[in-house]
Amino acid sequence: MNKSNSQATGNFKVTAEAMFKARRRLLQMHFESGVGHIGGNLSALDAMLIVFGEFLRADDKFILSKGHSAGALYIALWSVGRLGDDDLKQFHKDNTFLAGHPPAAGIPDIPFATGSLGHGLSLAAGTALGMRLNGNDARVYCLTSDGEWQEGSTWEALIFACHHKLSNLVVLVDHNGLQGFGSTAEVASMSPLWHKLQGFDVDLEVIDGHDADAIRHAVQRTTHRPHFIALRTVKGKGVSFLENRMDSHYLPLNEAQFQAAMAELALP
């Protein structure tokens, strides 16, 4: 495992071909490990690839609040050479650094263990304030799910970030509309979430979370307040029989499904 953290990752151009390859590699990793949570990984992967590939500098931090999308985080690190194929083979195995949720230690690019949904934004906001107090111009990127905005701690973190005007905080919301037990509208309706966020002192954008240029344009903006980017995404993006299906939140692929998915994701 490449444990060096001395250089930036954000100096790669993420091409359409690279995004295809990353999607295929994610499916392979999950299939070989017999692990589900594929739908939410596929909805979040595009944004993570672009943040890691094109924007993340040496002192910047990325915090994955929706920890069950750890697979997409590992693939993003793989895409910029921070993890290798041998590392990915250890995904979800015993005694691995590549656990089902981001680990507390072992991978320098992952600053916090996350996945108890609702506390990632608090960690990100505190980190952003700490960087500012230390005179560090680094940025903190935090990717949340839409479902975890049903957690009170997330709103408390938002209030904190607004109060301190954390302009070095970029929050990306994977707004795919589905969570573990149904749609976000069915479980605790706040959809669309950006209508609620408009009342806060943030710079807010709503974009197609699978449009690479839209993601680039949003992330590169400099703001004077916390920057929120609502990513309109599709759970299971790229695999027709997983798209917008709640069961893609949990279920692993069998052999036939894996082969069908890889065929759909064949390079043009």
Kindly state whether residue 251 falls inside one of the protein's structural domains.
yes
- Are 170 and 140 spatial neighbours (Cβ–Cβ below 8 Å)? yes
The C-alpha torsion from 79 through 62 and 42 to 214, rounded to 10°, is -90
pLDDT, tens digit, 9 for 90 and up, residues 106-158: 999 999 999 877 799 999 999 999 999 999 999 999 999 998 898 899 999 99
Does residue 105 lie within any of the structural domains?
Answer: yes
User: Identity (one letter) of the amino acid at 196?
Assistant: K
> What is the extent of the structural domain holding 183?
16-264
Confidence of residue 268 (pLDDT cuts 50, 70, 90): low
Residue 8 falls inside a structural domain? no
Helices 16-33 and 38-50: angle between axes, nearest 10 degrees = 140
The answer to the question of residue 168 being in a domain is yes
Whole-angstrom distance between the N-terminal and C-terminal Cα of the chain? 32
The answer as to whether 3 is a domain residue is no
Residue 24: inside a domain:
yes
Written as one letter, the residue type at 85 is D
Whether residue 42 is predicted with pLDDT greater than 80 in this model: the reply is: yes
Q: Is the residue at 152 inside a domain?
A: yes
Considering only CA atoms, give the Rg of the chain: 17
What does pTM read for this prediction? 0.93
CATH code, domain carrying 27: 3.40.50.970
Q: Which two tokens stand for residue 85?
A: 């194929």
Half-sphere exposure at residue 201, Cβ-oriented, CA atoms within 13 angstroms: 12
**Residue 9 located in a structural domain:** no
Maximal CA-CA distance, the chain: 54
**What value, to the nearest 5°, has the Cα angle with vertex 220 and ends 164 and 232?**
85
Q: What is the pLDDT of residue 167?
A: 98
Total number of domains in the chain: 1
